[in-house]
Amino acid sequence: MSSTAVRTTGTHRRGLNVTLWVLQGVIALFFLVAAAGPKLLGNQYAIDMFTQMGAGQWFRYAIGLLELAGAIGLLIPRLSGLASLGLVGLMIGAVATQVFVLRAPAMVVTPALLGVIAALIAWGRWSQTKRLAAMVKR
């Protein structure tokens, strides 16, 4: 009977791991194509949005580079938990910017959803993040 419990736990972990990898791949692709790409390639909508924010175009590049780093980090097993935490922070900032700076609360759906998915990934990869932190401490 205990071997059945072990197999169920192993199957559960494997299923969770596969689910996390699928989520990581999907949002990494989103951040590469729909978030970082337009900012770094100078899409007019991105330029206009950062102009409207009054933050300057340097900030567009900075956010684009952070999104690119997060997307790449999601695909590297050792960094995926840390990358997802960084993306959670970026999405909190994006939600706040939409509501308080751009006055477009209807536009919070995408960054809020991405933030929730990134938070789920961070939770699922927490053991990896702790191992990385312990390794850096040494």
Report if residue 2 sits inside a domain.
no
Structural domain for 74, as ranges: 23-137
Three-state DSSP class for 61? helix
pLDDT of residue 12: 84
Report if residue 4 sits inside a domain.
no
pLDDT of residue 131: 94
pLDDT one-digit tens code per residue, 80-135: 999 999 999 999 999 999 999 999 999 999 999 999 999 999 999 999 999 999 99
Report if residue 42 sits inside a domain.
yes
Report if residue 101 sits inside a domain.
yes
Q: How many domains does the chain have?
A: 1
Judged on CB neighbours under 10 Å (0-12, 13-18, 19+), 120 is middle
